[in-house]
Amino acid sequence: MWTLSGMGGDKTEAPKGKGADYWVVKLNATGTKVWDKTIGSNQIDVLTSLEQTVDGGYILGGYSSSGVGGDKSEANKGSVNSTDYWIVKLDSSNRLNQNITFNPILDKTYGDAPFALYAKASSDLPITFRVVTGAATLNGNILTLTGPGIITIEALQAGNAIYNPASAIQTFFVELTNPINLWDKTLGGYNPDVLTAMVTTPGGGYLLGGSSESGKSGDKSEASRGGSDYWVVKVDQQGNKLWDKTFGGNDRDELTALIPTADGGYLLGGRSRSGKSGEKSEESRGQNDYWIIKIDGNGQKIWDKTLGGNEYDYLSTLVALPDNSFLLGGSSSSGKNGDKSEPNRGTPNQNGYPATDFWLVKIDAQGAKLWDKTFGGSSSDGLTAIIATPDGGFLLGGSSASDENGDKSQDRRGVEDYWVVRVSENGTKLWDKTFGGITETYQLDNCEGSCLREIGHSVLTTLLLTPDGGYLLGGYSNADKGADKTDSNLGYSIDNADLRDYWEVKIDSKGTKLWDKTYGGIAVEKSDNSTGYFITGNSVLRSMVAAPDGNYLLAGTSDSDKGRDKSEGSKCGEIIEYPAEDGGYYTFFPSAEDYWLVKIDGNGTKKWDKTYGSEDYDELATIIATPEGYVLAGSSAAYGIGGDKSEASRDTTFQYASGKRDYWVIKLKEELPSMVQWEKRYGGSGKDNLTAIIKTSDGGYLSGGYSTSEMSGDKSQASQGKNDYWIVKSDKDGKKLWNKRYGGTDEDYLNTLIQTSDGGYLLGGSSLSGNGGDKTEASRGSRDYWIVKISSTGVKQWDKRFGGSGVEELQKVLQLATGEYILAGMSNSPVSGDKSQASRGEQDYWLMKIDKNGKKLWDKTYGGSLNENLEALALTLDGGFLLGGSSLSGISGDKTQASWGGSDYWIVRVNDKGTKLWDKRFGGAGEDNLMDLGSTRTATGNFFLAGHSTSGAQGDFSQSSQGGKDFWMLKINGEGTKIWDKRFGGSGHEGLRTILLTTDGGYLLAGRSESGISGDKTQPNWGSSDYWIVKTSSTGVKQWDKRFGGSGYEENRMALHTSDGGYLLGGRSDSGVSGDRTQPSQGGTDYWLVKVTPEATSIVAEREAMPLTEPVVEAELHSLTIYPNPAQDQVNIRFIIPQTQTATVQVYDSQGREVATLFQGQAQANQLYQLHWHARNQAAGMYLLRLHTLGKSQISKLLLTR
């Protein structure tokens, strides 16, 4: 039925619009009304039919002229006042359906700031949200992205007595941020120079190696020796050339590999056709030989060796071994001759050329051959990579065209396949495996003789050991789907059949295939404007490296357009026409090859890819991982600047010559995702300045500071005076639970707060107020210490003021195990009021002990003749205290050391009675302000200090200023002797506020920064000043830094550990919604909390410098002590050096690549240093630990097992 009635009689609901509504009445078996329901919208709705459905509900049918509104979720289909069919479904409880309108979510980039979700129910009931799938977390309607991929969010309305539940879904995609290009460098002479290898150097730079046809020209400082020479170039962290060296004989010498050696030098390896000439001290053995050169850290040649047989021997790879010997690997077509002790395995091809085999040679530290091994089948086999295995053996990798015979136990799959051979420590074969796709055969047109061509090449170029004890095999393939290959190739005709893709194969420790993946672009025919067309789409993998986040980087060369796995097209330049001698024109077609980088996870899933290139041919040779990102190195033919290339070619060969080549190196930084898990602001209409935050026993937080706001925003109480203490209690997710203000009639500034043993809190700061408001005692002077004791719910229990006739500022409060309190701050008062000792100068440290009820027990004054500003207080292991701050005083009063400059760090150690034990100053010529300190809480009794400084490298500083004002931290022993110092900053001003000892033994420094990307700061500022945190190792080596902020001014004041391994930062902000801020400002400045996500699990070193109880006198450098060895997770390392000097302890994998830096800094003479390396995420296998000091290195072998 329908009705025009209002509510009354049997009708329990009001009309929904101006006209008729559907009206449904439910009766029981006796005709008594059970319920009624009015259903309608804004115009005329006439019910004509009703049926009960099988689910016990009802379906109503009629017609309607209404638009969207009331119970109608869809607009009228016709013109105004026309009618449509309208069907309504009711459930058995007579509830109405409702609809949810969920605002679309655009695709995001991993690292974007948290954002709000918006949805509305047609019932106007509240909406909740949940993450259905994907890497994201929700806090109310604020969504935080925690990873890339597809995210599905559901908006839900639970329903009520009138409406049924409803939901709506939104799906969007989160992309990973691609790396950004920090710098690129072009290096070369006036002729072709081809880079093939690169390693990191101890000072943070890089050694580049390759081959050069240039004489003394451009960046090349030495003349050519022959047709082609080895050329190595040392560059610093920014790619600036430091030195270069040329090594060669009278013919062609081509470098293919280089590795660092235990003594701080390098081993260069390649192939040579030269006889005894130039730097080559031995005659050739055959057509081409292995040629290795040992150089020192400055590039000076120490020795060279030639190794070969009577034919062609091509060296591809080098491995450093723990006993200072080396393993050389490559391919050989030589028989049993010269240095080759075994005959060739293969048979000559149809043209009479001998087949090649894997050839493995072990040499000692002086280059003398120890043994050699040959592995091969009946056809050609080429070795390209070697890695050490966990048991001390090796995995050899390359390609093979052989069937089952000789050392090859399996038939080939295609024309050429991946072939890996597992050998023992002495080179004995244990097993071998073949992996490949299948061969395709194409008919050649217009040919004579054989008209069939076989395509199916899989060429292995690189190997990696994975954390599960398996291996990742990398290379390229044009073989088709089948056998071991699960993806098809690009070819569909003889014209494009040669196109290759990256091909990755994952195997376990026994060689069993686990998965394979293909990555590539698309085949495109392109016209050359003259003779026809050419095909692009070729991708050749050359190198891969494990990323710090547990993923993998694949690096190679590709000329493909955008498509398939390739998200960007080639950087190739435009076709160029230039005049010919006969008055016509030549056409120059720049090549489309670029560096192509692909990131994959441990299952082979692609995460992102990036193309880097010039406007001509670029060929990548290698990639290495660094703490800041990655370095790509190869060669470029580009003549000028263009694409990603910022420098012109050094090669003066004709501008459009195809053979031009320079070294081209690119430094990349992978922008990490946002570490903001959530952020909250609290404030009123005035200025609210946070000064302190603590974690509370219920898992939440208490934030405190001072406020001028009246009752407004998040502030629920009116101001007592000008500035009041204001605290905000929140839960673990930052949700405000309650807030309280405490104050007198004047200015009251809260500086510190603690949770007390009874579950309540003690608030501390300074007050200018007299007796009034929450303050029960009159002022002693102009400004006094003021403490307020409150319950766990913020109810005030008592308050106390302490002061003299002058100015006092309370900065820190501690509660002792006895329930008593220590108050620390500064004072300029003479003996008066609560102050029992005379002032030492203008302003002094003032320490006080009170009982649990606020009764003063004693007080102490410490100072010099000028100003001292106390900022920090720590409990010592013996029950005493360490006070820290800044001092302008020279030797006077309690200060026993002269000032270095304007102001210095000044620390005072006292016993449990406040009696001074010693004092120390640390500083330079500028302004040095200590802001925080702490105890390592270890048996060493060491302390750490941190603040900020404008000083340069003088006084106690070991590093120059980065610019403006920098963070400066020191580690000292229990007697105040400096162990080391570190500084961090950008080009502008940084101000440190707090330092934490982190769970991995390192440190977190937190403060603010005004700098852009510069120095140690890797991210641009959001506004004029941002929160800035710096994470270091236990020796102060920077691991990462992060900035957080909005478009205005942010000042970080505190940092805390959180239970999930992350951090909570607290401070003040005047920004609106911008940058990392997702909530609008409440007024002038607000409290701002930022929850920082836990760090990704990484390889972390932690250590303590432990002074020996008795002096150790040693004439030589101590060997590294490593235990346990073999190890599975944590590795302990100890070392001692006889003289104070800079030392570095680094970990290298079996291929000489740096894995971790465990120690870098000044090591004190005759002190035992103990390091801990958490290697749980590192692959099983052999590693080398190197202790390097000035002019000396020692190396020890470590085996990780799983």
* Confidence band, pLDDT 50/70/90 cuts, at residue 671: low
361-372 pLDDT per residue, tens: 999 999 999 999
Tokens 């605290």 identify what position? Answer: 727
CA distance readout (Å), 659 to 591, 616, 635, 639, 655:
11, 11, 11, 11, 10
pLDDT at residue 1120, rounded to an integer: 67
Instruction: Tell me the C-alpha distance between 244 and 519, whole Å.
Output: 37
Say if residue 1180 is exposed, middle or buried (CB neighbours under 10 Å; 0-12, 13-18, 19+).
Answer: buried
CATH of the domain at 1190: 2.60.40.1930
Which domain does 1175 fall in, by range? Answer: 1119-1200
pLDDT at residue 1110, rounded to an integer: 29
CA geometry: angle 1066, 1070, 1076, nearest 5 deg: 65
* CA R_g for the chain: 37
166 lies in a domain? yes
707 lies in a domain? yes
| Pair (46, 165) in one structural domain | no
In this structure, are residues 946 and 933 in contact, taking their beta carbons and an 8 Å threshold? yes
Over residues 1049-1077, the mean pLDDT reads: 92
Q: Of 245, 267, 354, nearest to 318 (Cα)?
A: 267
In this structure, are residues 740 and 755 in contact, taking their beta carbons and an 8 Å threshold? no
Please tell me what DSSP assigns to residue 698. Answer: T
927 lies in a domain? no
Instruction: Tell me the C-alpha distance between 389 and 585, whole Å.
Output: 58
35 lies in a domain? yes
Least confident of 109-118, 374-383, 399-408, 497-506: 109-118
Instruction: Tell me the C-alpha distance between 780 and 29, whole Å.
Output: 86
Please tell me what DSSP assigns to residue 615. Answer: S
CA geometry: angle 1187, 1192, 1194, nearest 5 deg: 40
DSSP 308-336: --SSBEEEEEEEE-TTS-EEEEEEE---S
175, 208, 235 - which closes a domain: 175
CB atoms within 10 A of CB 1049: 17
| Pair (171, 33) in one structural domain | no
CA distance readout (Å), 904 to 888, 910, 916, 971, 1000:
7, 19, 19, 16, 30
In this structure, are residues 917 and 879 in contact, taking their beta carbons and an 8 Å threshold? no
| Pair (847, 718) in one structural domain | yes
Say if residue 237 is exposed, middle or buried (CB neighbours under 10 Å; 0-12, 13-18, 19+).
Answer: middle
175, 203, 222 - which closes a domain: 175
754 lies in a domain? yes
Query: Using DSSP, how many helices (H) and how many strands (E) does the chain show?
Result: 0, 85
Strand ranges in 410-493 using DSSP code E only, listed in sequence order: 417-423, 429-435, 440-443, 452-455, 458-465, 471-477
CA distance readout (Å), 812 to 2, 731, 894, 1155, 1189:
75, 24, 21, 42, 42
831, 862, 893 - which closes a domain: 862
- Give the neighbor-by-neighbor strand order of the sheet with 1100-1107: 1100-1107, 1167-1174, 1130-1135, 1121-1123
Tokens representing 12 are 């329990």
CA geometry: angle 474, 475, 478, nearest 5 deg: 135
pLDDT at residue 530, rounded to an integer: 57
1135 lies in a domain? yes
| Pair (824, 738) in one structural domain | yes
Instruction: Tell me the C-alpha distance between 1044 and 1048, whole Å.
Output: 11
Instruction: Tell me the C-alpha distance between 268 and 266, whole Å.
Output: 6
Contacts with 768 (C-beta within 8 Å, 6 or more apart), sequence order: 744, 746, 747, 748, 779, 782, 783
Tokens representing 579 are 């005049």
| Pair (842, 724) in one structural domain | yes
Straight-line distance from the first to the last Cα atom of the chain, in angstroms, rounded to the nearest whole number: 76
C-alpha count within 13 angstroms, C-beta hemisphere, residue 1073: 6
Instruction: Tell me the C-alpha distance between 731 and 842, whole Å.
Output: 43
Least confident of 444-453, 554-563, 601-610, 720-729: 444-453
Q: Where are the alpha helices (DSSP H) in 460-544?
A: none
Please tell me what DSSP assigns to residue 1162. Answer: E
| Pair (1148, 1187) in one structural domain | yes
pLDDT at residue 11, rounded to an integer: 86
Has this prediction a pTM greater than 0.75?
no
Residues in the chain: 1202
Give the type of residue at 834.
D
1133 lies in a domain? yes
Backbone angles phi, psi at 613, to 5 degrees: -165, 165
1094-1148 pLDDT per residue, tens: 754 322 233 333 333 323 333 334 456 787 777 766 787 888 777 777 778 888 8
| Pair (55, 126) in one structural domain | no
| Pair (31, 112) in one structural domain | no
Instruction: Tell me the C-alpha distance between 644 and 685, whole Å.
Output: 49
| Pair (165, 79) in one structural domain | no
Give the type of residue at 702.
L
CATH of the domain at 105: 2.60.40.10
Tokens representing 675 are 């570490």
State the sign of the Cα–Cα–Cα–Cα dihedral 65, 71, 75, 77: negative
CA distance readout (Å), 321 to 262, 509, 629:
9, 21, 27
1156 lies in a domain? yes
214-245 pLDDT per residue, tens: 999 999 999 999 999 999 999 998 899 999 99
How many domains does the chain contain in total? Answer: 4
Instruction: Tell me the C-alpha distance between 921 and 899, whole Å.
Output: 7
pLDDT at residue 776, rounded to an integer: 96
For residue 133, pLDDT over 50 is answered with yes
Give the type of residue at 556.
G
1156-1177 pLDDT per residue, tens: 778 777 677 767 777 778 776 6
Instruction: Tell me the C-alpha distance between 212 and 686, whole Å.
Output: 69
Over residues 296-311, the mean pLDDT reads: 97
CA distance readout (Å), 129 to 137, 139, 346, 1073:
11, 9, 67, 22
Tokens 């035992």 identify what position? Answer: 1168
Mean pLDDT for all residues in the chain? 89
pLDDT at residue 1097, rounded to an integer: 32
Beta strands 629-636 and 166-175 are: unpaired
pLDDT at residue 2, rounded to an integer: 74
C-alpha count within 13 angstroms, C-beta hemisphere, residue 253: 31
Instruction: Tell me the C-alpha distance between 198 and 754, whole Å.
Output: 53
* Confidence band, pLDDT 50/70/90 cuts, at residue 628: low
Instruction: Tell me the C-alpha distance between 967 and 957, whole Å.
Output: 12
pLDDT at residue 659, rounded to an integer: 75
Instruction: Tell me the C-alpha distance between 678 and 1039, whole Å.
Output: 23
pLDDT at residue 1100, rounded to an integer: 29
345-349 contacts, C-beta under 8 A, 24 or more apart? 345/374, 345/375, 345/376, 345/377, 345/378, 345/381, 345/406, 345/407, 346/376, 346/377, 346/378, 346/379, 346/380, 346/381, 346/402, 346/406, 347/378, 347/379, 349/379, 349/380
pLDDT at residue 136, rounded to an integer: 86
Torsion angle of alpha carbons 450, 455, 461, 464, nearest 10°? Answer: -150
| Pair (71, 115) in one structural domain | no
Contacts with 121 (C-beta within 8 Å, 6 or more apart), sequence order: 98, 99, 100, 101, 127, 157, 163, 166
Instruction: Tell me the C-alpha distance between 753 and 701, whole Å.
Output: 11
| Pair (28, 113) in one structural domain | no
In this structure, are residues 452 and 440 in contact, taking their beta carbons and an 8 Å threshold? no
| Pair (735, 775) in one structural domain | yes
Instruction: Tell me the C-alpha distance between 984 and 993, whole Å.
Output: 14
